[in-house]
Amino acid sequence: MYITVHGTKTALLGKEQSVGNEAPAARITRLDGSQNVIGMIAPTVQLLIAIPSLKTEVCSLGAKKFNALIKEVPKLTTYMITTDDRDFVKEYAEKESIDSAEIVIDTERNFAKKYGLLISEGKLKERLARAVFVIDRDGRIVYKEVVPEIVDEVDYDACIEAVRNTLNIRKKGHTHESWMSV
């Protein structure tokens, strides 16, 4: 897959994921230095937000927008994933009051490679492409957006709508109305 970085076509490395695929488990580093795994089957719906660098205006704005938007969404686990250094990210999270999501670091580029988001060249080499994934409780990718131009923002409305739709899905099975209509 390709994106553009300031108009220059740039390849993304790793395994491209599609809606309907099982979300791969990816190892990330928490701000306390511990390792965790995100993706795959989980007790809650997951929103994974790939952020190239919180040091840039577009990324910082996106993190703040998502933080505000997801405050109103219960039963959602949100991870903002970046490749920035841990000390900077800790300071950023405190300064900007990012409290609706957990900001984590893709230190080994495990997430980037498993989700096909690793920028292959240029000044953003080894950074993440800007992207969002919504993963349902069964571990399936139900929404994906990889932003075609790195300086553009994600479609916040479409992403939050996908989150809400995923949270409202009811389990299939017996319902009172279905057995009465037989």
| Annotated catalytic residue within 47, 59, 76, 141 | 59
Instruction: Output the pTM of the full model.
Output: 0.90
Q: Report pLDDT for 16.
A: 96
Per the domain annotation, does 177 fall within a domain?
Answer: no
Q: Report pLDDT for 176.
A: 47
Per the domain annotation, does 182 fall within a domain?
Answer: no
3-state SS, residue 78: strand
Q: Supply the range of the domain harboring residue 153.
A: 2-168
Q: Report pLDDT for 22.
A: 97
Task: Specify the CATH number for the domain of residue 120.
Answer: 3.40.30.10
pLDDT, averaged per 10 consecutive residues of the chain (182 residues), comes to 94 97 97 96 96 94 95 92 96 95 97 98 95 97 97 96 85 46 45
Q: Report pLDDT for 180.
A: 46
Per the domain annotation, does 63 fall within a domain?
Answer: yes
Per the domain annotation, does 162 fall within a domain?
Answer: yes
Q: Report pLDDT for 181.
A: 46
Q: Report pLDDT for 175.
A: 46
- The residues facing 45 across adjacent strands are 76
Beta-carbon count within 10 A of 145 CB: 17
Domain count, the chain: 1
Q: Give the DSSP H/E element, type plus range, for residue 91.
A: helix 86-95
Check if 159 is active-site: no
Q: Report pLDDT for 72.
A: 82
